[in-house]
Amino acid sequence: MNNLVRFFLIIVVVSGILLGTISHLNTSQGYSGNNTLTVYNWGDYIDVELIKRFEKETDIKVIYETFDSNEAMMTKIQQGGTSYDVAVPSEYTIDKMRQDDLLIPLDHSKLPNLKNIDQRFMDLPFDPDNKYSVPYFWGTVGVVYNPSKINGKKITSWNDLWDPAFKNEILLIDGAREVMGMGLNSLGYSLNDTNKKHLQEAKTKLDKLTPNVKAIVGDEIKMLMANEEASIGLVWSGDASEIMSENEDLDYVVPKEGSNLWFDNMVIPKTAKNVDGAHKFINFMLDPEVAAQNTDYVGYSTPNKAALKYLPKEVVEDERFYPSPELTEKLEVYENLGKRNLAYYNELFLQFKMHRK
Amino acid sequence: MGRVLAMENKLTRHLYSIPYFLWMLLFVVAPIVLVVYYSLFDIEGNFSFVNYQKFFTPVYLQMTLSSFWYAFLITAISLLVAYPTALLLTKTKHKQLWLLLIIVPSWINLLLKAYAFLGIFGTYGAANSFLKIIGIGSKQILFTDFSFVFVSVYIFIPFMILPIFNALNELNPTLLDAASDLGASRWVTFRRVIFPLTLDGVKSGCQVVFIPALSLFMLTRLIAGNRVITLGTSIEQHFLVTQDWGMGSTIAVFLIIAMVLIMILTNTRKRGV
């Protein structure tokens, strides 16, 4: 009994010392209540140097957390456990978050750098007048492939992926809308189609792709593609540019039938405790030079027009990542289809995953 | 005086049981009640049994069957490897040391281990280089049923070895002597003496492996590339992606029922005690 009490006391004392040390370290580094800012962003989606620069310039300490899907992020914000000050959802999620009253309206007077954003990317249907959001990056969904490994075949259309020559050579990103979208696009339907017959058709078509699909994976797709685990991958454009900087043999194409055009946007969620700091952070990220440095690091396309002149010409003129107006016409932004339709997309996607070779 | 002491004893006993009951209430009973409650609502939050209807459609039944099949496979292979290993361990000189070496990998985070296997099993990974050297040639290992079962067995095996090892270790050696004195061959001794006496260890090992194996989800994506879909994968998807908490909870309800059934089935012997 005495031993037990002693053991218990030792644990309490050790935990106490650890707690004291942590809080001491935090205060000495400036992490205390008022001057911290919790940023909730996609994994590997910011140049870490910029966070340090922001901390230096404003004396605000940044706590940086990451998520890997819009839905996971929204669930965490809904539950409200952590006081996220800035989050970076995609466009259709902003629509949902707005409806669920999870966002704080932006104070444009605190965001003078907003003028740097290309007018093309302002005032979009998912957020009229940019009341709640500021575009952070944009891009497309497309195919990254290894030209030397597909026997001189060209990939220009979604339907090229169904070629039996690509048996077991395709990696898909684990996203219901991306994969179902590929099926819909290849049939000439809209990415926002909610007609059950069309969706069934797309799923049946995807089932036929199964022999070519090696795996359906998450963020690991970047590593797997760069390591030449497969020769074709369905990815977001930014992932493609990252993969291509790791392995220069690879190329990226947006299929001619069209594809998805997406925006990730900075917002201030309802969980925010440091709304003022959040505005400062957003404004900082909109600075042309900062945006250029961030773009250079992340590799996605920046909506910041003023930043383009700080970027190398071959980047800005690369039509794979800054597509021509003709192709842009064919790109579609995801609409928020509502829970029920989204569930149907996911149901079909699950069935596609279960379809065995 | 005696009565006062007895009362005090009773009081302290009640005091000591408070943490246990609080724990059970907050972390076992309440979550189960919540899961059952959520399972009764459809995706738009209306009260209905639609989720239960959906569970009995071919998609989910097939998923349930394949989950059970993989969990069974993982448990069976773990047992096949673990029993001889445990038997061997009890016969070694420094058995605690060898046991520790087997347990150490289970201290490493599951995700880290899974990522390591991504590298080892990849097209240009160590496993394929080895296959090339011995003349078999490069094979697809990653994203197959084989890699999924292999990695799962690797992860679960310490939990199977441990209870079996303990059971074997507690075995009274004089019983073995008695068996051989009575003319039993080594095989008969194993079959009639050793195995029955360690059956409880085997049972608890199987429980500890089978039940979590039934709801594996990270490995299905990382190692099996979503070519294996288990109930666990589906629960994760319903909670995080579809946000259909009702359906996710319904699957969880069936998993809980399955687990309770397994516990009852594997514990039949202890009931008399």
Distance from CA of A210 to the nearest CA of B (A): 10
Could you tell me if A123 and A12 lie in one domain? no
Could you tell me if A159 and A256 lie in one domain? yes
Give me the long-range contacts of B235-240 (CB less than 8 A, separation at least 24): B237/A346, B237/A350, B239/A75, B240/A69, B240/A71, B240/A72, B240/A75
| Interface size, chain A vs chain B, as Cβ–Cβ contacts under 8 Å | 79
Is B43 a member of any domain?
no
Q: Does B12 touch chain A (CB under 8 A)?
A: no
Could you tell me if A68 and A176 lie in one domain? no
Residue B237's CATH number: 1.10.3720.10
Is B183 a member of any domain?
yes
Q: Which residues 179-218 of A have a C-beta within 8 angstroms of B?
A: 214-218
Could you tell me if A200 and A144 lie in one domain? yes
Could you tell me if A218 and A333 lie in one domain? yes
Is B7 a member of any domain?
no
pLDDT in tens, B14-27: 888 899 999 999 99
Distance from CA of B46 to the nearest CA of A (A): 13
Could you tell me if A106 and A35 lie in one domain? yes
User: Are A224 and B122 inside 8 Å of each other by CB?
Assistant: yes
Q: What is the mean pLDDT of residues A149-177?
A: 92
Could you tell me if A205 and A339 lie in one domain? yes
Model's pTM, two decimal places? 0.85
Range of the domain at B96: 58-272
Range of the domain at A9: 1-27
Could you tell me if A98 and A210 lie in one domain? no
By CA distance, what is A346's nearest residue in B? B242
pLDDT in tens, A253-279: 999 999 999 999 999 999 999 999 999
Is B49 a member of any domain?
no
Q: Does A228 touch chain B (CB under 8 A)?
A: yes
| Helices assigned H by DSSP within B92-198 | 95-103, 110-121, 126-133, 145-170, 173-181, 186-189, 195-197
Q: Does A275 touch chain B (CB under 8 A)?
A: no
pLDDT above 70: residue B4:
no
Is B30 a member of any domain?
no
In order, the DSSP letters of A60-117 are PEEEEEEES-HHHHHHHHHHT-S--SEE--BHHHHHHHHHTT-BPPP-GGG-GGGGGB
Could you tell me if A127 and A145 lie in one domain? no
User: Are B124 and A214 inside 8 Å of each other by CB?
Assistant: no
User: Are A229 and B43 inside 8 Å of each other by CB?
Assistant: no
Distance CA B65, CA B62 (A): 5
What pLDDT does A31 receive?
62
Is B161 a member of any domain?
yes
Is B249 a member of any domain?
yes
Residue A169's CATH number: 3.40.190.10
pLDDT in tens, A18-38: 999 988 887 776 665 568 899
DSSP state of A173: E
Q: Residue B273's pLDDT band (boundaries 50, 70, 90)? A: very low
By CA distance, what is A173's nearest residue in B? B225
**Tokens standing for A15?**
């935990």
Q: What is the mean pLDDT of residues B232-256?
A: 90
pLDDT above 50: residue B272:
no
CB atoms within 10 A of CB A137: 25
Could you tell me if A94 and A33 lie in one domain? yes
Could you tell me if A152 and A128 lie in one domain? no
Q: Does B237 touch chain A (CB under 8 A)?
A: yes
pLDDT above 80: residue A169:
yes
* Predicted-assembly ipTM surpassing the 0.95 threshold: no
* Residue among B43, B225, B242 minimizing CB distance to A215: B225
Q: What is the mean pLDDT of residues B168-187?
A: 90
**Residue % of chain A over a pLDDT of 90:** 69
User: Are A353 and B229 inside 8 Å of each other by CB?
Assistant: yes
Domains: count for chain B: 1
Could you tell me if A98 and A213 lie in one domain? no
pLDDT above 90: residue B202:
yes
Domains: count for chain A: 3
What pLDDT does B269 receive?
57
pLDDT in tens, A106-120: 999 999 999 999 988
Q: Which residue has the higher pLDDT, B240 or A249?
A: A249
What pLDDT does B5 receive?
67
Q: What is the mean pLDDT of residues A279-285?
A: 96
Q: What one-letter code names the amino acid at A231?
A: S
Question: Residues with Cβ < 8 Å from A282, sequence gap 6 or more?
Answer: A86, A106, A111, A134, A266, A268
Sort out which chain B residues have CB atoms less than 8 A from A75's CB and list them: 239-240, 243
What pLDDT does B162 receive?
94
Note the Cα A13 to chain centre separation in Å: 43
